[in-house]
Amino acid sequence: MADEDSLVSRKVAPEPELAPYQIEAARSSRSKCRTCRRKIEKGKLRLGILLEGPFGTGYLWHHLACAARQRLEDVEAAYAQKAFGEGLKVPPLSELQTLEEKAARARAERKEPPFVERAPTGRSKCKHCGEPIGKDDLRVALAREVAFGSQVRTSAVNVHVGCVVDEIDTEDCATDIDGFGAALRQNSDDASLAEEALAAIGVLDDWPPSDK
Ligand SMILES: [Zn+2]
Ligand SMILES: [Zn+2]
C-alpha cells in the first residue's frame, strides 16, 4: 500500500531542522495512522513524530485523537512546543487529556480474560509450559480458577499463543473454548492482534466447527 508521505525523506543537508513534532491537517489521504493503522483522511488533524533513520528523517503520522489516547505525552510535548501552524484550529489540550482518561478507563475495564497483547517485556512466563514469553511476542491471557483456602477465585494467567489450546484443555482453566474467538476479539485492545492470535491458534477460530 502506498504510504508515501508518512516518511518524507530528506537530503542530508545542513538545512532547517525539522521540529520534533508537527500537528497539521493532513495534506492528502495517503498517510496511515501508526496507532490505529487506518488511513488518515485529507484534512484530518494528524500528529507527526519525527523519526531519524538511516535513510532519512521524516514524520511518522498518527491521528491526533489516536495519539491522545495512546501516547498523550507526545501530544502534550507537541502542544508545549506549539508544533502547529498559526491558523490551524486545534482542540484544547484538556479535551485530548479527557480522551486519554476515557481510553485508559475503557482499557482497564476491558481487562477481562481472554485477551491478547504483545508482551511488553521478556520477563513473563507462560503458565502452561513454563517457558518465558519473548518481548513483543503475542501473549494470551486466560482465566484460571485458583483456590484460596476454601474460596475459588478467578485470575488471569498468560500463555504463549501456541499453548492456548492445551491450556484451555486443563481442568483449572476457566476460559471456555466455546465463544473463545468472539471473547478474544471483544476483550483485546488491538483488533488486529486478536485476528493475528486467532489465525495462529487456528483451530479455535471457528469453534465449534460449523459443519458437523
Ligand atoms: Zn488513528
Ligand atoms: Zn507456553
> How much is the pLDDT for 16?
66
Using CA atoms, how far apart are residues 160 and 163, in angstroms rounded to an integer?
5
Mean pLDDT for 67-84 is: 95
0.75 surpassed by pTM? no
Tell me how far the alpha carbon of residue 192 lies from the centroid of ligand 1, in angstroms. 13
Q: Calculate the alpha carbon distances from 67 to 21, 111, 162, 190 in Å.
A: 12, 21, 32, 15
Q: What is the pLDDT of residues 18-70, one digit of tens each?
A: 899 999 999 999 999 999 989 999 999 999 999 988 888 899 999 999 999 99
CATH class (in words) of the domain with range 115-201? alpha beta
Q: At what angle do helices 180-187 and 191-201 cross, to 10 degrees?
A: 150
Tell me how far the alpha carbon of residue 178 lies from the centroid of ligand 2, in angstroms. 21
Ligand nearest to the CA of 119: 2
Ligand nearest to the CA of 34: 1
Tell me how far the alpha carbon of residue 35 lies from the centroid of ligand 1, in angstroms. 5
Tell me how far the alpha carbon of residue 163 lies from the centroid of ligand 2, in angstroms. 5
In the chain, residues under CATH classification 3.30.1740.10 are 4-109, 115-201
Tell me how far the alpha carbon of residue 89 lies from the centroid of ligand 2, in angstroms. 50
CATH class (in words) of the domain with range 4-109? alpha beta
Beta bridge partners of residue 57, listed in sequence order: 52
What DSSP line would sit under 108-121, residue for residue?
HHT--SSEEEE-SS
On the question of pLDDT at 4 being above 70, the answer is no
